[in-house]
Chains A and B, each alone.
Chain A
Amino acid sequence: MTAKLLEVSNLKTYFFTRSGVVKAVDDVSFAMQPGQRLGVVGESGCGKSVTALSVMRLIASPPGKIVGGEINFNGEDMLEKSQVELTDIRGSKISMIFQDPMTSLNPVFNVGFQIAETVKRHRKDLSNEQAWRRAVEMLDLVRIPDAKRRAKNYPHEFSGGMRQRVMIAIALVCNPQLLIADEPTTALDVTIQAQVLELMKGLSHEFSTALMLITHDLGVVAGMCQHVNVMYAGHVVESAPVQQIFETPAHPYTLGLLQSLPRLNERRGSKLTPIKGQPPDLTNPPASCSYAPRCPKVQNRCRMERPQLMRVGRGEQEAACFYPN
């Protein structure tokens, strides 16, 4: 078996606020292989972003804190690393891009500088000129036209889609082993979305970069990922290869998500079927299955204990449910 690139075990990340302790990530475990494209799906507040930030050790502390679990990257314990070591890893071994491209770039530096800066940070052996050339190469790679000239432009001179490409360039310039993308296309127009996703998929394939794609959009996941984790209320409730998620969803939540997607072939006038109820209060998670209040198939046992991820059927599908599909 190939060595795992990333292994997260029983991760718990809590936020200590004035109104209570928010258990944003409450016992999450998963793993990634080198070059694998993993989708992490869930609604707002389910803990997917916090998981990613925990891996990068970018949780603001106060009020956040990783209170338990292990994060192993390339066999090394991320939680034991010093701040200096972490800054060496970020941007060169693990990179992250974020949701809003309009505000993610520094307005006072030109884009070439922002890319070259990353190069210079992690490749101290390169000269300024070489770093700049590398930056222009990357801009070319992410298909910014006229890269040489545009490298000197400032962020405000680019559109949203192009800024996101610049972000991708920054993230990939040092050839990281893992790229985490937190809702990278949510803020973009649908047509641009497709382009940017294609770009990411292509580059990930070309450079064998593992990709953790976080999104609330199941449609995005379908085209991009090989494996999918579904998260709810701070933990993973289903984990399966992408085909199985869509064809044989095991967890009732996954089923609910799929059913609520509007379809092109629905009858006119038919209602959407949303999931009834609201996500639970993360400061006071119940000891029961967190989905129980909204689950159409809830049984007594669900209300009393919390299910762990268990294998379902044959193959690699797992679901945290006592009565999976």
Chain B
Amino acid sequence: MDTKDQQSESVSPGVMLPDTTLVPTILTPDTGTYPIEGDQKKKSTSPLQDSLRRLRRDKRAMVSIGVIVFFIVLALIGPPIYQHVGGPYQSSVNGVVGPSQYHSFSYEELGQNTQDQLPSAHNWLGTDEIGRDILARLMQGVLISLAVALVVELVDIALGVLIGVLAGYYGGWIDQLLARFTDLMFAFPGLLFVILIAGIFGNWADIHLSKIPVVGPNGNARLLLVSLALAFTTWPLMARYVRGQTLQLKEQQFIEAARSSGTSSWGIIIRHIIPNLFSLVIVVATLDISNTIIGEAGISFLGLGVQAPGSSIGLMIAAGSQQILAGHFWEVLVPCCVLAAIVLAFSFLGDGLRDAFDPKSKD
């Protein structure tokens, strides 16, 4: 049989062809651009470049990236800078102190007119109910949020991808186990689980986990516990998504081709499936970060996470909310706005990434 076909060049009725129509589908709202002949003459770009280009055009996503970068930079280099700004200060209670102390997040100033202050040259964002500098606590809180998000996402991605791929590719008992597990996770609110773990094992963690190097005292042990608990409740969803995508990929022809050319299962997974999970994992991870930050803030808000003298945005909101009745709104509004900004930024970024990678999913 002659194989010199000119498929896309010719049209012949009576033979079913895919609808490469130049006319939009009837009765659908205008959802996007239509393939016009001219497009094919442009230089071909890789899907990744296409996605990045679409992302760059999404203003909301770009602004979100800016906001996120701003907060990361703030959390990392803010404290050292802030602790060198300002001269020595005569505190009525603590003697003469330098900015490295009064601009740190745990320094308390319980004198007259030093609590619940609005922003001033001395404390750039004012002070809270026991005279601590709000800006310093804010920066520390953001640092904590980002650190927790990082740890949780690492576990989330590692476990989620691993189990998801195995469940999707091999099926069998792994898949069954994952399904039962995720059912359990969905039925039992994740937050409840984290609350219980953090509440019951919090003290124990303080005592025992502090002994691990790097973690150390200062409430970090509890943070580790909260992070692990949050990670535990987040990975099943990632695994579910990865499993779904793996199932789809598995059916595609290039997998068939790889298999028939002798690639081992493991090789297929590593070389073909995992790289194609990239966009899905990025989108889900970004949205998960948003949820994790809310989770950590929530746990700390309930008093089960970071403890004083440490700082967390949730803790700041909780403490600030006690001052509402006294009419001190500033100290609760600042952390609320910051948390809202960070969470919205990650949400918009996640949405933007999803639209950039798969514009068809847009409305």
Q: Do chains A and B touch in the complex (CB under 8 A)?
A: yes
CB distance from B317 to the nearest CB of A (A): 44
Taking CB atoms, residues of chain B closer than 8 Å to A53 are 26-27
Say whether B1 contacts A269, CB under 8 Å: yes
Of the A-B pairs whose beta carbons lie under 8 Å apart in the complex, a sample of 28, sorted by A's number, is A17-B30, A17-B33, A19-B34, A22-B24, A22-B34, A24-B23, A42-B13, A44-B19, A45-B20, A45-B21, A45-B22, A47-B23, A49-B26, A50-B26, A58-B27, A62-B30, A63-B24, A216-B13, A218-B13, A257-B13, A260-B12, A260-B14, A272-B12, A275-B10, A278-B11, A278-B37, A279-B22, A281-B36
A60, B10: Cβ atoms closer than 8 Å? no
Chain B residues with CB under 8 Å of A219's CB are: 14
Interface residues of A in 8-45 (CB under 8 A from B): 15, 17-20, 22, 24, 41-45
> Which B residue sits closest to A53, measured CB to CB?
B26
How far apart sit A20 and B23, CA to CA, in the bound complex (Å)? 11
Nearest first, the 8 closest Cβ-Cβ pairs linking A and B are: A274-B10, A260-B12, A45-B21, A274-B12, A60-B27, A216-B13, A63-B30, A24-B23
Looking at the assembled complex, report how far the CB atom of A189 sits from the nearest CB atom of chain B, in whole angstroms: 12
Residues from chain A with Cβ under 8 Å of B16 in the complex: 186
Indicate whether A283 reaches chain B with its CB closer than 8 angstroms: yes
Is residue B17 within 8 Å, beta carbon to beta carbon, of the partner chain?
Answer: yes
Chain B residues in 8 Å Cβ range of A63: 24, 30
Enumerate chain A interface residues (CB-CB to B < 8 A). 15, 17-20, 22, 24, 41-45, 47, 49-50, 53, 58-60, 62-64, 186, 216-219, 257, 260-262, 269, 271-272, 274-279, 281-283
B363 within 8 A of A: no
Q: Is the interface of B mostly helix, strand, loop or mixed?
A: loop
Q: Which residue of A lies closest to B1 (CB)?
A: A269
- Residue on A with the closest CB to B11? A43
Q: How far is the CB of A218 from chain B (nearest CB, A)?
A: 6
> Dominant SS at the A interface?
loop
Contacting residue for A59 out of B26, B33, B37, CB 8 A: B26
For the side of the interface on B, what is the size category? 20 to 34
In chain B, positions 5-55 with a C-beta closer than 8 Å to chain A are 6, 8-17, 19-24, 26-30, 32-34, 36-38
Q: Quick one: which of B1, B17, B19, B22 has the most chain A CB within 10 A?
A: B22
For residue A272, which residue of chain B has the nearest CB? B12
Measured CB to CB, the nearest residue on chain B to A16 is B30
A17:B34 contact, CB within 8 angstroms: yes
Whether A44 pairs with B21 at a CB distance below 8 angstroms is yes
- Return the contact of B20 from the options A44, A47, A60 (Cβ within 8 A): A44
**A217 neighbours in B (Cβ, 8 Å):** 13-14
**Quick one: which of A20, A45, A50, A58 contacts B36, CB cutoff 8 A?**
A20
Pair B23/A262 contact, Cβ less than 8 Å: no
Mask of B190-231 contacts with A, CB within 8 angstroms, 1/0: 000000000000000000000000000000000000000000
CB-based contact B29/A262 at 8 Å: no
Identity of the chain A residue whose Cβ is nearest the Cβ of B18 in the assembled complex: A44
Bound Cα distance from A271 to B20, whole angstroms: 23
What chain A residues lie within 8 Å of B2 (beta carbons)? 269, 271
**A19-B33, A50-B26, A59-B26 known; A41 and B20 CB under 8 Å?**
no
Would you call A261 and B34 a contact (CB within 8 A)?
Answer: no
Chain B residue contacts of A260, Cβ below 8 A: 10, 12-14
By the criterion CB–CB under 8 Å, are B9 and A278 in contact? yes
**Cβ proximity bits B72-108 to A, threshold 8 Å, 1 near / 0 not:** 0000000000000000000000000000000000000
Q: How far is the CA of A44 from the CA of B29 in the complex (A)?
A: 20
Nearest chain B CB to A149 CB, angstrom units: 34
Chain B residue contacts of A62, Cβ below 8 A? 29-30
**What CA separation (Å) do A19 and B30 show in the bound complex?**
11
Assess whether B37 is in contact with A15, with CB atoms less than 8 Å apart: no
- Chain B residue contacts of A269, Cβ below 8 A: 1-2
Contacts of A24 in B (CB 8 A): 23
B13 & A41 in contact (Cβ 8 Å cutoff): yes
- In the assembly, what is the distance between CA of A278 and CA of B40, in Å? 13
